[in-house]
Amino acid sequence: MSVETTLDIAAIRARFPILAQTENGQPLVYLDSGATTQKPDTVIEAVRDYYRHDNANVHRGVYALSERATEAYEGARDQLRDFIHAPSRKELVFVRGATEAINLVAQSYGRAFLQPGDEVLITELEHHSNIVPWQFLREQIGIKLVVVPINERGEVPLADFEAALSDRTRLVAISHMSNALGTINDVTAMARLAKEKGAKVLVDGAQAIAHLPVDVQAIGCDFYVFSGHKMYGPTGIGVLWAREALLEQMPPYQGGGDMIHTVTFEKTEYNELPYKFEAGTPNIAGVVGLGAAVRFMQSLDRAAIEAYERELLDYATEQLQNLPGLVIIGQARHKAAVISFKIEGAHPHDLATLMDQDGIAVRASHHCAQPVMQKFQVPATVRASFGVYNTFDDVDRLVASVQEALDMLV
């Protein structure tokens, strides 16, 4: 099947070297972009060229290598500011990924400004990275963790979300898009309701950043976090966006070099934003690669990407539902790029292992979202998650491989 699109999918695929290889003698079909996306040639080249030509520490040298490294590092921050429509470059803090960003907010903002009995509201959809840090905070200072349930479609009903808010709600931490089910939350409406209660809002955008346009000002949140490797960039790098006024009030998360202005044995004065939160030598190559990933995404028609991935998801859903015994877990009315499914009598790990023999890379696990699995009473699912490089032929091969595995297992 094909679909009308302004995107040249063949040309896009050609920019991802790994997609040209074979696995187990079969052309690779990569359907695990929810775990990590593959990297285009320009990202790989940017990281390579940094190490080959500009490798030096940032902010500290007056020699040419250091100046070029600093220019690339800070240039990426400016690109990311524009990418998510942030008001100021001071509001973007480089971290290892969305996980570290959430932990930073929990340990810096949470421990400084929350009190025993204050409520942090999350949902049943959350990744472990947006659950465990708040459990740490509950153990450390005695906050109350409030969980909004999801319905049988894998959605967070807005009425249930509003009902869970209270006068003690101080922080709401919600995913923009579920990694396990693909559900897209109405984070703008959720942020508005939370603000009416005086709560701060953190949005986990790790999954959404590659599939949806992100405008932090339009959303109305206070914190937005994401990882580079989920948006065609390198691993080990991510971003915390936070309102400047909040970052000014928050204490540093870590101490060390570059986050200081002056140090004596009696006292330390901290650096200005965002460097107050960037202790030590940063992942410079990762930032350079992330800047290249932003340029790659901006070179494409984002609306066309969203429409194409929607067609791909609809086609895959239709084809998989025709297979006997296959049940799609999570059928939210507003979802993107992810299909999780189970088949009675076939363990997800067995399915994924057999599919690997056909060169099909899918994920079989709880997807670091065990409460979601518990909700649907399954130990795990098979998850196919798409990127801009996937095709309708990939879907056809996925469906044929599942059918072949079914013939063997059921």
Residue range 335-371, pLDDT digits in tens: 999 999 999 888 999 999 999 999 999 999 888 889 8
> What is the pLDDT, as a whole number, of residue 332?
94
CB 316 within 8 A of CB 129: no
Q: Has residue 280 got a pLDDT over 80?
A: yes
Instruction: Give the helix, strand, coil percentages of the chain, each rounded to 5.
Output: 45, 20, 40
Same fold, 9-30+301-409 and 44-298: no
Kind and range of the H or E run holding 49: helix 41-49
- Which one is predicted more confidently, 260 or 198? 198
Residue 241 has pLDDT above 60, yes or no: yes
CATH number of 44-298: 3.40.640.10
- Of residues 60 and 50, more confidently modeled: 50
Give me the CATH topology for the region 9-30+301-409.
Aspartate Aminotransferase, domain 1 (3.90.1150)
**Is the confidence at residue 261, as pLDDT, over 60?**
yes
- Arithmetic mean of pLDDT over the chain: 95
Cα–Cα distances (Å) from 57 to 87, 111, 278, in that order, read 27, 32, 13
Write down the pLDDT at residue 6.
Answer: 73
Q: Note if 221 is an active site residue.
A: no
Q: Give the Cα separation of 341 and 355 in Å (integer).
A: 14
Tell whether the model's pLDDT for residue 183 goes beyond 90.
Answer: yes
Query: What is the token pair recorded at 361?
Result: 């890379």
Look at residue 354 in the predicted model and tell me its pLDDT. Answer: 94
Q: Which pLDDT belongs to residue 297?
A: 96
Question: Mean pLDDT over residues 153-174, rounded?
Answer: 97
Average pLDDT over residues 93-120: 98
Residue 4 has pLDDT above 80, yes or no: no
HSE (side-chain half, CA atoms, 13 Å) at 302: 15
The band of 2, judged by pLDDT with boundaries at 50, 70 and 90, is: very low
- Return d(Cα 399, Cα 393) in angstroms, integer: 10
Q: CA nearest 296: which of 365, 373, 221, 232?
A: 232
Q: Which of 260, 300, 307, 368 is catalytic?
A: 368
User: What is the domain partition of the chain in residue ranges?
Assistant: 9-30+301-409, 44-298
Beta partners for residue 119, in sequence order: 144, 169
Can you give the pLDDT at residue 5? Answer: 59
Residues 310, 315, 318, 323, CA torsion sign: negative
Predicted local confidence at residue 169, as pLDDT: 98
Could you give the CA distance from residue 373 to residue 261 in angstroms, rounded to a whole number? 47
| Single-letter residue type at 190 | M
pLDDT of amino acid 260: 85
Please tell me which residue, 168 or 256, carries the higher pLDDT value: 168
Q: Which two structure tokens, joined as six digits, stand for 133? A: 């840090």
- The pair of three-digit structure tokens given for residue 175, joined into one six-digit string: 């995913």
208 compared with 7, residue with greater pLDDT: 208
Calculate Rg over the CA atoms of the chain.
22
Q: What is the pLDDT of residue 364?
A: 93
Question: 169 is written with which tokens?
Answer: 């709600």
Q: In this model, does residue 78 exceed pLDDT 70?
A: yes
Phi/psi-derived region of residue 52, left when phi > 0, alpha when psi is between -120 and 50, beta in every other case:
alpha
Query: How far is the C-alpha of 200 from the C-alpha of 191, rounded, in Å?
Result: 8
51 has pLDDT over 90: yes
